[in-house]
Every structure is written in structure tokens, then in C-alpha cells.
Structure 1
Amino acid sequence: MSAVAPEEVPVIPRGVRLHHDRVRDQWVLLAPERAVALDPVGHAILAEIDGSRSFGAITESLAAKYDAPVDQIAADAGGFLRSLMDRRILEVA
């Protein structure tokens, strides 16, 4: 599977959290024995994940917020989230 389906609900699993590193003034995704530095786009995507909204609803929200085409947001965000899922840092409900 290469992308995230619109009906899937992305979930940040237990033990993984978004954290603002004040020393580096950067957002990171902390997982057991791992830390993933996030750029502003990655943070914007992950900040939308609440464990209840579908990927389709998240992409629509991001598209409205950033005035961008939904299909472009879905492609970019889907690839990013899929890479986190492949590394077992993100799940779908």
C-alpha cells in the first residue's frame, strides 16, 4: 500500500507524541528510542491528527487552511504518513 485511504483514521499510538524542543526551537515526533525532526509541513499534518477524523477530513481541513488543492495535499500528506506507518510510528484505526 503506497498511500493512506480517505476513510482511514490515522492515530498517533500510545508512547508516541508531538513535542516542541525548546532548545532547538523545533517540533519533533518522539517515539520509543527514536525522534523524528519535523519541518513545518510535517508538524501541520501531524497536528491535525486527533484519532477520530478520517484522512479525507484531515486533507480537506489542510486544503482549506492553506488554500491548496485537496488532491495535492492528499498525495503529499499520504506519502508522509505512510512513511511513518512503515516505520511503525503511526497507525490507522
Structure 2
Amino acid sequence: MISTNEYFEGNVKSLGYTSTTGKSTVGVMEAGEYEFGTSTHETMHVVEGEMTVKLPNSSEWTTYKAGASYEIEANEKFQVKVSEQTAYLCQYK
């Protein structure tokens, strides 16, 4: 079953699905600044565009471009800035 998700007044939208490797979402973020929370471990893959991210327990922002990925543990919050529409794949464990 494919699920649809919409956050931040429609500025972040994704489709959720389950494959043989587990649960994932694929989506797009409009330009903006966002704070996300995790309930499970997440691996975020930037598909197109770029994300500038402030990971938990970090005071620095890091930019991840298309082809790059980063990980966030369960029960954490992280901040994301995007300057243009950016596509991502998020895998959950």
C-alpha cells in the first residue's frame, strides 16, 4: 500500500511504501526551513537539489548535495534548509 504524507502546509510531500529492504518515503521539499523528528533510525538520501542540515548534538550546518546521504538515530530532532525544490529518499530502520 502506498501512503501519502504532507507536512508544513504542503511544502513537504512524500509517498510512503514498503519494499524488501523495509519502509521508505520518497518526496520533495519546497525551499524553506524545517525541523523534523524521528521515531526510528533514518537514512536520508538527497536525490536532486541539496539540503543544508543541522544534525542532533551538532552546532554546525552541513550541506548534502545530490548523491549524498546522512543518518539520524531514533527519537532525535534535526533541522533542514533547502534553497530550491529538493527530492529525497528516506529509509527507516
TM exceeds 0.5?
no
More helix by share: 1
Higher relative contact order (CA 8 A, sep 6+): 1
